[in-house]
Amino acid sequence: MSSMTIQQNIQASALSDEKPKISASSVCVSYGDHEVLHNIDLDIPPRRITALIGPSGCGKSTFLRCINRMNDLISSCKITGEITLDSANIYDKKVDVEVLRRRIGMVFQKPNPFPKSIYDNVAYGIKLHGLASRKEELDQKVEKSLRRAGLWDEVVDRLESSGTSLSGGQQQRLCIARAIAIEPDVILMDEPCSALDPIATARIEELLHELKKKYTIVIVTHSMQQAARVSDYTAFFHLGDLVEKGDTETVFTNPQDNRTEAYITGRIG
């Protein structure tokens, strides 16, 4: 056995022994009488990128919103089962939802910078959560977040300009900077590149590879090519069921379910 194969086996073994950052068990979601997710069981490993793929309306975005309790905002939504973050049930009545959402940041499909300056977009959450006691500390955290989002060099000379004056790709990176400024554990991304051109998409994908060194990332994407490029693990949803899950290479090259193969090869979806 080659040294490279041995090293890969060691890494695979280490990954399998890691405790999941997020774990979903028997999760069902209904809107009124209509159940849209059926008994979802999924472990999401720490400091990796997990892609949720599947046709439109299959439940992947609904599941994503369960992870930071965004579905709480929908009165007709009912959720059963359990989702844990670091082994603690996030739906326990004792959980402070605002604290939970600080730990689990979210980036949406369309860039949505606040109608504020670039600086204030990033500083907003830091101020809100009292994470900087001095202006100097606030400046440092804003710069650090913009650097992590790969945006600092492009905006350092115009931090007082409006965040909405940036290009679409820059706005999305600004939203990522805003999300990571409050030092979350997890970043959820719902189709973060669907409104972007190929060049901006490539920048975001490069950024994801850097961010996973520090953060657990869950991304919903319609693009199987993107899932294959950026993710370590993939979960395939279809008609509210979690059909298949596993490391991305295996799911894409050796799917175990006919529905997965049909979706990946373009016969369904």
pLDDT tens string 242-253: 999 999 999 999
**How many Cβ atoms sit within 10 Å of the Cβ of residue 57?**
12
DSSP string, 1-32: --HHHHHHHHHHHHHHHSPPSEEEEEEEEEET
* Extents of the domains making up the chain: 18-86+185-269, 115-184
In tens, the pLDDT along 49-101 reads: 999 999 999 999 999 999 999 999 999 999 999 999 999 999 999 999 999 99
In this structure, which CATH number among 3.40.50.300, 2.70.98.10, 3.40.190.10, 3.30.70.260 belongs to the domain 18-86+185-269?
3.40.50.300
Residue 18: pLDDT band by 50, 70, 90 thresholds? Answer: confident
Exposure letters 123-134 (e unless 16+ CB within 10 A, then b): bebbeeeebbee
Nearest to 236 by CA among 215, 220, 217: 220
